């Protein structure tokens, strides 16, 4: 029996395409580990679209952080990678959020990214969101070959392991300890990366222009 295709692009889904590889990354420890590895391997371009991109967030913890030759904090990692490869173009698009979220986000984040990174790193705020809305797409495209998308961005109070222990030393952010957190991201390669890249670049260009 043939299965009926229920997807209708433009009606109940955005695009219908294929992936060479696709896997869920459950909880932020797994996502951040994969993200750190992919950023380290980037050669041409990185574009990050997010509700937040907090330069203080550590992508690695424990022994992984101690043994890594690359910085763990996303801000230090981006700067290190940009200095290591001046031809690498890095674009960071962060939501220009409501004042109501000031205690959940890095203060003066745009200035931090602009002042502490090389010229091949560009950071802007997305102020095009209608009043009462927010920028909730979380997309990372690397070299137009790998895409991360889902519920997690690089922000406060996201990192946690699958165990969600009550006592977890790693759940200690710039503003102190926080409770267990659960979410899911997906990493993919193949044809669908092109569509995510087009979306990310469209988001960037409509603000940058």
The three state secondary structure string of 13-27 is: ECCCCCCCEEEEEEC
Number of domains composing the chain: 1
| 172, 16 contact by CB (below 8 A) | no
pLDDT band at 179 (very low <50, low <70, confident <90, very high): very high
Q: Give the mean pLDDT of the chain.
A: 92
What's the token pair of residue 24? 């869920």
pTM of the model: 0.92
Q: Does residue 80 form part of some domain?
A: yes
Domain span holding position 72: 21-164+178-208
Position with higher pLDDT, 102 vs 206:
206
33-87 pLDDT, tens digit per residue, is 999 999 999 999 999 999 899 999 999 999 999 999 999 999 999 999 999 999 9
Phi and psi dihedrals of 21, rounded to 5? -150, 140
CATH number at residue 116: 3.30.870.10
Q: Does residue 169 form part of some domain?
A: no
97-132 pLDDT, tens digit per residue, is 665 566 666 777 778 888 889 999 999 988 877 777
Phi and psi dihedrals of 133, rounded to 5? -105, 180
Q: Does residue 140 form part of some domain?
A: yes
**pLDDT recorded at residue 104:** 64
């Amino acid at each position: 029996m043939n299965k009926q295709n229920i997807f209708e692009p433009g009606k109940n889904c955005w695009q219908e395409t294929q992936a060479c590889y696709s896997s869920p990354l459950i909880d932020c420890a797994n996502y951040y580990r994969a993200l750190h590895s992919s950023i380290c391997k980037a050669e041409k371009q990185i574009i990050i679209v997010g509700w937040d991109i907090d330069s203080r967030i550590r992508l690695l913890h424990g022994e992984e952080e101690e043994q890594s030759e690359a910085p763990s904090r996303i801000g230090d990692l981006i700067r290190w990678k940009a200095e290591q490869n001046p031809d690498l173009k890095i674009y960071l698009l962060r939501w220009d959020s409501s004042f109501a979220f000031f205690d959940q986000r890095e203060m003066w984040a745009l200035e931090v990214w602009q002042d502490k990174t090389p010229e091949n790193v560009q950071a802007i705020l997305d102020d095009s969101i209608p009043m009462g809305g927010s920028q909730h797409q979380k997309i990372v495209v690397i070299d137009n070959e790998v895409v991360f998308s889902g519920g997690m961005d690089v922000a406060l109070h996201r990192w946690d392991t699958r165990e969600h222990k009550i006592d977890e030393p790693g759940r200690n952010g710039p503003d102190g300890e926080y409770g267990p957190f659960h979410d899911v991201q997906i990493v993919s390669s193949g044809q669908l990366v092109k569509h995510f890249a087009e979306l990310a670049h469209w988001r960037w260009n409509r603000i940058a222009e």
